Amino acid sequence: MRLPVMVMEMMVDSLTSLVDKHEKIPIHIKFSFVHNVSLGLCYLHNHNPPIIHRDLSPNNVLLTAHHVAKISDLGVAKVIKADSGKTMTKAPGTVDFMPPETLRENPEYGPPMDVFSFAGIVLHTFNQKWPHPTELVQYDHKTRKMVALSEVERRQQYLDKMRGEAEVLRPLVEECLDYDPAVRPTITAVCERIQQKTEIDQLRRENTQKGLENNHLKTETKQQKFEINHLKYGNDQLKFEVDQLNQQLSSTRTVPTQQVASQLNRVTLGGPTTKTSKLKIEAPPLMPALTSGRYHIKWTQLANLPAQMCRAYVTVQDKKVYVAGGNSPVVDAMHQVYVYDVNTDHWDQLPPSGHYYGVPYIIGGKLAIIGGWLHAVKNWTNKVSTFDETSQTWTPHYPDLLSARNRPGVVTHLEHVIVAGGVKYVNNTPVVQDDIEVLN
């Protein structure tokens, strides 16, 4: 039989699953999730006639491979027609995300119901915990009576944890949790307020980017000026050497051409080559510094490592060389970080990072160890530990990677840190990573 087939986009995860798997999701990704959901609800509620989801929860928010959140499972969704009643069956959705009006007998449903559920998704996303509301009533020890709690008070513990950049959404979430559906904002207003926050953050990132690019251009300009001055100095030096040779040749009438050429192989000989004539020596075209013959390009040994290490990683800052992440016959050396001071020609040993095979890298002026095997949990890790010089301790200053990685490739560009590849182990079987993560 020829039946119609609907082909839908493959979704790699749900919001619930992603939040459970990752301890710390970057704040800009959280904002992206809730913004995507608000856009989806705008489409449903502004449809003609409006469509009410009625079961909006993190379980029904699916994610693409690029972390785009999309609303799914419209199995209990309803179309609200103008000439039809809004009375429907009681409690069709996920209890922790349902508004109070759905628990009444013969409840009336409308777009405010989804707005209330959306507030629960925001709390879940930013707290990374399932927002279980408290009981409807609570005993007041002062009055010795049972007191009814508002929907905001029932979720107070999750609202209080919305700090930092997330705090800007707290008033909006409280409005969406209002007991009266008529007081709650429309999803269009919600979407606009989140969009404003997203655009402000985008402008800040662009301004930061422009500032970094301007600083980068200034640095490049200074470098170019330095190179020009260096080349001018080299050219002046070369002219001085040519003048010196001309003076020597003027005082000697029988200098063979071959002898002059052997004394200075960087000049061109011109004019007559008779015994009694002067040789005309001209400066050659200006050449790059590393090929001018005045510099020796060669490898030299800087220092011996304090321990034998294979496949070690190296990063440098302020004439200090940091070495870590290598295999070593000395077990303790495998999670040590050694630092060599070029000025003093001395090795020091930082406190153990706890990362076996972690990659050292300078991020934002701070020494960090990325990924590897975390000794504390005996497993491969997505942690990024940063060294605090004041307290001489390793702290989680930057967000975790989205996945655990052993010995990934790491590079920085402007304000971005790019981590590529690496190996993770699944059931003790090595699996090569084939993706790239970017920390903004």
Classified by CATH at the fold level, domain 13-185 comes out as Transferase(Phosphotransferase); domain 1 (1.10.510)
Helix, strand, coil shares of the chain as percentages rounded to 5?
A: 35, 20, 45
Same fold, 13-185 and 313-439: no
Buried b (16+ CB within 10 A) or exposed e, 330-353: eeebbbbbbbbeeeeeebeebeeb
User: Is the per-residue pLDDT at 93 higher than 80?
Assistant: no
Position 224 scores a pLDDT of 73
Tens of pLDDT along 27-57? 989 999 999 999 999 999 999 889 999 899 9
Higher confidence at residue 105 or residue 164?
A: 164
Residue 183 CB coordination number (10 Å): 10
* pLDDT on residue 294: 55
**What are the extents of the domains in the chain?**
13-185, 205-282, 313-439
The vertex-227 CA angle with 221 and 233, nearest 5°, equals 140
User: How do residues 175-224 score in pLDDT, each as one tens digit?
Assistant: 999 999 999 999 999 999 888 877 776 666 666 666 666 776 777 777 77
**The two structure tokens encoding residue 335:** 């999670």
- How many Å apart are CA 197 and CA 164, to the nearest integer? 13
User: SS3 of 141, please?
Assistant: coil
Residues 6+ apart with CB under 8 A from 287: none
Q: Give the Cα separation of 433 and 292 in Å (integer).
A: 45
Give the predicted TM-score (pTM) of the model: 0.48
Kindly state the tokens that stand for 264.
Answer: 């200075």
The pLDDT, as a whole number, for residue 147 is 85
122-136, 231-245, 333-347: the lowest-pLDDT one: 231-245
Read off φ and ψ for residue 203, nearest 5 degrees: -65, -40
* Under 8 Å between Cβ of 340 and 329: no
Chain segment 384-419, per-residue pLDDT in tens: 999 988 889 999 888 999 988 888 999 988 788 999
Residue 88 has pLDDT above 60, yes or no: no
DSSP category for residue 286:
P
Token pair listed for 90: 């009681």
Give per-residue pLDDT as tens, 216-265: 677 777 777 777 776 777 677 777 777 777 776 666 544 445 544 444 44
Among 15-24, 75-84, 162-171, the least confident range = 75-84
Whether the pLDDT of residue 86 is over 60: the answer is no
Whether residue 324 is predicted with pLDDT greater than 60 in this model: the reply is yes
| Separation of alpha carbons 177 and 169, rounded Å | 13
Residue reference for tokens 């020796």: 296
CATH (residue range 313-439): 2.120.10.80
Amino acid 406: pLDDT:
87
Average pLDDT over residues 363-380: 86
| Confidence at 23, pLDDT banded by 50, 70, 90 | confident
